[in-house]
Structure 1
Amino acid sequence: MKSLIYLDHAATSWPKPPEVMQAMQHAMVEAAANPGRGSHYMAVQASRVLFDTRKILSRLFQIRNPNDLIFTYNTTEALNLAIKGLLREGDSVVATMIEHNSVRRPLEYLKRVLGIQVEYIPVNKCGELDMIRMKAAISRRPRLVVCSHSSNLLGSILPITEIGELARRFNAVFLVDAAQSAGCLDIDVSAMNIDLLAFPGHKGLLGPQGTGGLYISPAIELEPLLHGGTGSQSEEKEQPLVRPDRYEAGTPNTIGIAGLKAGVEQVLARTPKRIYQHEWGLVQQMMDGIQGIPGLQLLGPEAGQPRTGITSFISAKVDASELAFRLDREYGIAVRAGMHCTPLAHEAAETLRTGAVRASVGVDTTAVEVDAFIEAVKEICGRA
């Protein structure tokens, strides 16, 4: 593979730590049987991989019972399980304008087929939530409040502790999409009053693709998204009630989950706090380097303000897709351009017509790589 400066960590982190690949290879050899479906050595080892990973994720998110943590194949599946498993005909939902389509599309689907009511609370161009509108909406006692912890376009961070307190006060279920925050922001489900937490394994947790999960509060019962084999209560015609079996039908991605465990171990060793500080510093360097380029407009919080490791921007001189294409082909720099599956956030940022370029840093991104990105953007926009 040619030399690559990878700035697409908001989509998937890369490269993975060596420990992740080693754990997956070990599991392929030692734990490649079906967990929970047999008592032979390899089946027991596979079950141990799953339980040990639940335990370490519970430590990261301050979850009391590891069995309340359900494995999914990505955040999208986790969000669909939470939304479709909870909502019923006539329910109302409060969401925000920075939601990913993995939230918006299930909500709009249920709006069409069940008649649920959905209110999207505005954010300003920097991605800051209108908390007056949010408080008013939650005071009307919706069934569900759902919000992204951090915008995958703007990098802004929502005050989920405050939102969680409001949801608890008015007896609403609180669902948090941690796609951009798991691994770089501290999350405590109890302290933040989070009832449902959806997260990916392949981004900030440094695991492989095909991994993710959903924390489900013990006070909440969801209808399963899938029905089928669980290895338990096989004589029953209905899905078992016991967790996590109720929500994990079929053969899981044991090999990937082994890699996820190794990734979370790396996150805990570095700590989310230090990871955030590293990524925040690189984003400030990036913003400082490109903000003076003629015709270039930065999106999201202003320099010096809290944000996750995302820098999005548009250029009046170069189309977003062309800029991303040239960064890749001419400079070996991987970024992402387009809508980023979040049209409401683009509407708030007034970039729905143009899309945007998104450069996102990770735990191993260096200042030298950020400098190379800055010079490449200067050269492309300067030649336009």
Structure 2
Amino acid sequence: MKKRTIYLNNAATTWPKPGCVVDALLRATRELAGTPGRAVTRDLECERAIFRAREAAARFIGASDSSRVIFTPNATAALNLAITGLLKKGDHVVTTSMDHNSVARPLRRAEEEKGVEVQRFDLSPAGTMKAEGVVKMITSHTRLVVLTEASNVTGSIQPVGDIAGAVRAMGGDRPLILVDAAQSAGVLPMNVEKDGVDLLAVPGHKSLYGPQGTGFLYIAPGVSLTPLLEGGTGGHSGQERQPESLPDRFESGTPNTPGIVALGEALKFLAERGLEEIRAEEIRLMDILTDGISGIRGVELFGPRDPRERVGVLSFNVEGMDPAEVGTFLETTRGIILRVGLHCSPHSHRTIGTFPEGTVRISPGIFNTDEEIIELIQGVKDLQRARGIL
């Protein structure tokens, strides 16, 4: 008999995907055989399908011009385009001590190769940054402020709207705002135009419930980036230089048409379900999880205790055990799939004091049940009983 699986690693990639997303992916793979931007019937069908997905993405984030939504393979590619495509020699960047490596590594490269100065706002293990603290770090050379809206380690939520508003109020040659929405897109409401966000990086395969290999970058009017890739765009084929028009400037090569179409279907699924309902259910599950885990002797939790101050991510450690041992025990005894280690975010673990071992991370999704959360809690209790702690 097949062993039961309880999947609690949705911060890495959500699973399962909604049936409508899987159906859209298969249908596009079977039926959309063309290449967008070419003037034959099947190509035009692909182009229209991608346009509909682009429009859905723009609506989802509150952007009035869908051409400013650039499809990418993931949020990592979007962040690299934003950071590497923007920064130049002599620029100054303000970021946080909770960066994912998708932000930290391109920034380190910019430091080493372009002489960019990077300054980090130090967060407390459970705390969030305040707008006034960020503004104080901005200099006349600050080109970019990078905000991780929700930590992939502690789940803590940052007040992006407040910070962006404070930066925007500076006027003049204010720095641009780049938001890493890897853990917040699909859970927290977004309106890039209302909030004043200049660059927004979004993965398709996490809380948007799209397929892997999808994501996008929003680029606000007036923001100029240098493309990382150049080549065929379907249009402007007679010129040797990369076109200036969007989205062609940043979408060279054959796109992932089936994935993008399925992402569009995922956005439709979320819109119909409603982010308020999704967020309320996430808070409810996290409340059960936090209460259950925090009451177990020898277990330490990290991040905000109030589930309203975090997304669906909870990190914990068991005293005297490596996170990998805990993860192995839960998987082998109860079929629970979660994530252990540094979660590609060593800065975060240095901030909360768990470097280099990392933590055990639990991240429920919209298809998880109360019973599965209780099973996880019971599994941690079993572990402590086996060790003679309870």
Name the TM-score, length of structure 1 as normaliser: 0.97
* Aligned equivalent of 2:305, options 295, 302, 313: 302
Q: Is the 8 A contact 2:7 2:337 kept in 1?
A: yes
Q: Which residue of 1 aligns with 2:202?
A: 199
1:119 alignment partner, SS class:
strand
Partner in structure 2 of residue 8 of structure 1: 9
Distance in 1 (alpha carbons) for counterparts of 2:309 and 2:284: 10
Could you tell me which amino acid in structure 1 is paired with residue 13 of structure 2?
Answer: T
For the residue of structure 2 that corresponds to 1:190, the secondary structure is helix
Match of residue 24 from structure 1: 25
Amino acid at match of 1:9: N
Q: Does 1:41 align with 2:32?
A: no
Residues 130 and 163 of structure 2 are in contact (CA less than 8 Å); yes or no, is this contact kept in structure 1? no
Task: Provide the rounded CA distance (Å) in 1 between the counterparts of 2:328 and 2:207.
Answer: 25
Equivalent position to 1:208, from 200, 211, 224: 211
Q: Is the 8 A contact 1:230 1:245 kept in 2?
A: yes
3-state DSSP class of the match of 2:195?
coil
Q: Report the alpha carbon displacement of residue 348 of structure 1 after superposing the two structures with TM.
A: 1.3
Shift of 1:169: 2.6
Deviations 1:34-71 (A, max 9, x none): 111x2222111111111000111111101010000000
Note the C-alpha offset of 1:383: 1.3
Superimposed CA distance per residue, residues 200-234 of structure 1 (whole angstroms, 9 cap, x where no aligned partner): 00001100000000000121111001011111111
Q: Which runs of 5+ in 2 are unaligned?
A: none
8 Å CA contact 1:85, 1:225 repeated in 2: yes
Q: Which amino acid aligns with 1:18?
A: G
Deviation at 1:130, TM superposition (A): 5.2
Aligned counterparts of 2:369 and 2:141: Cα–Cα separation in 1? 46
Shift of 1:263: 0.8
Structure 2 CA distance for aligned equivalents of residues 225 and 382 of structure 1: 53
Q: What's the counterpart of residue 180 of structure 2?
A: 177
- The answer to whether the 8 Å contact 1:83/1:106 transfers is yes
Q: Is the 8 A contact 2:149 2:160 kept in 1?
A: yes
Please state how far the C-alpha of 1:131 moved relative to its aligned partner: 4.5
1:123–1:129 Cα contact (<8 Å) kept: yes
SS at match of 2:14: coil
Q: Offset at 1:295?
A: 1.2
Question: Mean alpha-carbon deviation: is it higher for 167-176 or for 124-133?
Answer: 124-133
Q: Who is 1:354 aligned against?
A: 357
Number of the residue aligned with 1:129: 129
Any idea what SS the aligned residue of 2:192 has?
coil
**Offset at residue 140 of structure 1 (A):** 5.0
Q: Deviations over 1:238-282 (max 9, x none)?
A: 101111000000011101111111111111111112111111111
Displacement of 1:141: 5.5
How far the C-alpha of 1:304 sits from its partner, in A, is 4.9
1:280 maps to 283
Aligned mates of 1:248, 1:6 — CA distance in 2:
34
Task: Note if contact 1:27-1:255 (Cα within 8 Å) is conserved in structure 2.
Answer: yes
Alignment deviations for residues 100-123 of structure 1 (CA, whole Å, 9 cap, x no partner): 010010001000000000001011
Instruction: Give the Cα separation in 1 of the matches to 2:357 and 2:49.
Output: 45
- Structure-1 separation of matches of 2:379 and 2:140: 50
Separation in structure 1 between the aligned mates of residue 237 and residue 307 of structure 2, nearest angstrom: 56
Match of 1:313 in 2: 316
Aligned 1:73-84 pairs, distance under 5 A: 73-84=73-84
- Residues 208 and 256, structure 1, Cα contact 8 Å, conserved in 2: yes
1:138 positional shift: 2.7
Alpha carbons 1:90, 1:114 under 8 Å: kept: yes
Q: 1:117 & 1:131 partners in 2: Cα distance?
A: 20
How far has the Cα of 1:197 moved from its partner?
Answer: 0.3
Shift of the 68–232 alpha-carbon distance from structure 1 to 2, 3 Å rule, reads: same
CA contact under 8 A between 2:79 and 2:180: conserved in structure 1? yes
Are the equivalent residues in 2 in contact too, given 1:127–1:154 (CA < 8 A)?
A: no
Aligned-residue offset at 1:99 = 1.0
- In the other structure, the counterpart of 2:166 is 166
Do 1:32 and 1:255's aligned partners in 2 also have CA atoms closer than 8 Å?
no
Report the Cα distance in structure 2 between the residues aligned to 1:344 and 1:22, rounded to whole angstroms.
39
Correspondence for 2:67: 67
Q: Identity percentage over the alignment? A: 41
Moved segments of 4+, more than 6 Å: none
- How big is the alpha-carbon RMSD for the aligned residues of Structure 1 and Structure 2? 1.3
Distance 1:304 1:240 in 2: 46
Q: For the structure 1 residues 144 and 33, does the alpha-carbon distance in structure 2 shift closer, same or farther, using more than 3 Å as the test? A: same
Alignment of 1:317-332 (within 5 A): 317-332=320-335
1:146–1:174 contact (8 Å) kept in structure 2: yes
Aligned twin of 1:100: 100
Distance 1:62 1:32 in 2: 31
Question: Within the alignment, does 1:368 sit opposite 2:371 as a pair?
Answer: yes
SS of the aligned residue for 2:113 comes to helix
What is the rounded CA distance, in whole Å, between the counterparts of 1:272 and 1:138 in structure 2? 33
Cα separation, 2, equivalents of 1:335 and 1:241? 43
Within 1, Cα distance between the matches of 2:145 and 2:198?
10
Distance 1:372 1:7, change over 3 A: same
Q: 2:131–2:162: 8 Å Cα contact kept in structure 1?
A: no
> 8 Å contact 2:11–2:363 — kept in the other structure?
yes
* Contact map agreement 1:30 1:45 (CA 8 A) in 2: no
Alignment partner of 1:234 out of 233, 237, 243: 237
* Partner Cα separation in structure 1 for residue 324 and residue 313 of structure 2: 17
